[in-house]
């Protein structure tokens, strides 16, 4: 599965950029998958609901199937490669955008706003390939203008070596 991580500190605009990029890639006719990584443990199901009860009784995986959505809950081992495990579900995608998961290998693009506080991660970590910002940080990687979503999309396609992208 080809993927690129959109990373950054809290409240720097990762989700907003993810949504805008997904819309831009869809406009270009690309099939893009999305994953949201959270460093916290969350209960994604609702206690007391049937699916919750199925899982807590031992079903693994357990699913909720509606007319237009399928949601599968599966326990995750702490040391498993979740991306390899999830790859079959994203097999029809040209690539996958992952929001977060800074610690995993893979190309990373940082979203950074000076007004939100904190230094650019790219200044400290060589795994960040570019910074998306309308501010100028002191970083050793290209800074892509935040207001230019089509340009950011083209650069991402270039990094992933998908036609129509311009690396850099």
The CATH number of whichever domain residue 33 belongs to comes to 3.40.50.300
Q: pLDDT for 71-98, tens place per residue?
A: 888 888 888 898 999 999 999 999 999 9
Question: Domain range holding 121?
Answer: 3-42+78-160
Specify if 132 maps to a domain: yes
Specify if 73 maps to a domain: no
Specify if 26 maps to a domain: yes
- Pick the residue with more confidence: 7 or 49? 7
* Alpha helix (H) residue ranges in the chain: 14-27, 50-57, 82-86, 149-160
Specify if 59 maps to a domain: no
Q: Which residues pair with 63 in a beta bridge?
A: 72
Structural domains counted in the chain: 1
Question: What is the average pLDDT across 24-35?
Answer: 96
Q: What does the alpha-carbon distance between residue 163 and residue 25 come to, in Å, rounded to a whole number?
A: 12
Specify if 108 maps to a domain: yes
Q: Is the pLDDT of residue 164 over 80?
A: no
Specify if 66 maps to a domain: no
Specify if 71 maps to a domain: no
Q: Is the pLDDT of residue 168 over 60?
A: no
Local confidence band at 166 (pLDDT 50, 70, 90 cut-offs): low
Q: What does the alpha-carbon distance between residue 164 and residue 70 come to, in Å, rounded to a whole number?
A: 32
Which of 35-44, 61-70, 77-86, 92-101 is the least confident region?
A: 35-44
């Amino acid at each position: 599965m080809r993927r690129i991580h959109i990373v950054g500190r809290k409240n720097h605009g990762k989700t907003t950029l993810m949504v805008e990029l997904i819309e831009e890639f869809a406009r270009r006719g690309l099939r893009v998958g999305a994953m949201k990584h959270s460093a916290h443990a969350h209960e994604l199901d609702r206690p007391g609901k049937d699916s919750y009860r199925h899982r807590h009784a031992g079903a693994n995986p357990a699913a909720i199937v509606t007319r237009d959505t399928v949601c599968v809950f599966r326990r995750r081992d702490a040391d498993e490669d979740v991306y390899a495990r999830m790859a079959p579900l994203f097999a029809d995608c040209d690539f996958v955008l992952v929001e977060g998961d800074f610690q995993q290998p893979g190309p990373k693009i940082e979203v950074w706003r000076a007004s939100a506080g904190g230094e650019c991660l790219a200044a400290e970590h060589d795994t960040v390939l570019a910074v998306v910002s309308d501010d100028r940080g002191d970083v050793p990687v290209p800074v892509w203008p935040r207001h230019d979503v089509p340009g950011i999309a083209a650069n991402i396609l270039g990094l992933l070596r998908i036609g129509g992208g311009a690396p850099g």
